[in-house]
């Protein structure tokens, strides 16, 4: 039999760093794409509707990674309890 408690083991610093690095790369790509769209629109260029859809999906992915990283951090560090709260 295997021990199921490892499913809830705190995340290592390396795992948290990997998640943050992946998120940072996607966020950087999102900002570059947003800047490209802003420049193109300022110059009067028409962009395909897929460009707006791509930005929206990439934002969703970055937000999901933010949530995942936060949940990994929450499981790695127990929040302090307030006095009288036990």
Report the pLDDT averaged over residues 44-49.
91
Q: What is the b/e burial string over 27-50, where b = at least 16 CB atoms within 10 angstroms of the residue's CB?
A: beebeeeeeebeeeeeeeeeeeee
Let me know: does 35 contact 51? Beta carbons within 8 Å: no
| All residues at 6 or more sequence positions from 73 whose CB lies less than 8 Å from its CB, including other chains | 11, 16
Higher pLDDT, 24 or 85: 24
> In whole angstroms, what is the distance from residue 60 CA to residue 51 CA?
14
Between the two ends of the chain, the Cα-to-Cα distance in Å is 34
Q: Residue 60 has what pLDDT?
A: 94
Mean pLDDT of the chain: 78
Higher pLDDT, 20 or 64: 64
The predicted model scores a pTM of 0.62
Percentage of the chain exceeding pLDDT 90: 35
Domain locations along the chain: 13-76
């Amino acid at each position: 039999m295997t021990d199921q408690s490892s499913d809830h083991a705190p995340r290592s610093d390396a795992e948290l760093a990997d998640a943050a690095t992946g998120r940072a790369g996607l966020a950087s790509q999102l900002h570059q794409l947003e800047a490209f769209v802003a420049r193109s629109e300022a110059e009067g260029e028409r962009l395909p509707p897929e460009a707006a859809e791509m930005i929206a999906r990439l934002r969703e992915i970055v937000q999901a990674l933010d949530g995942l990283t936060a949940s990994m951090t929450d499981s790695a560090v127990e929040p302090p309890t307030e006095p009288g709260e036990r």
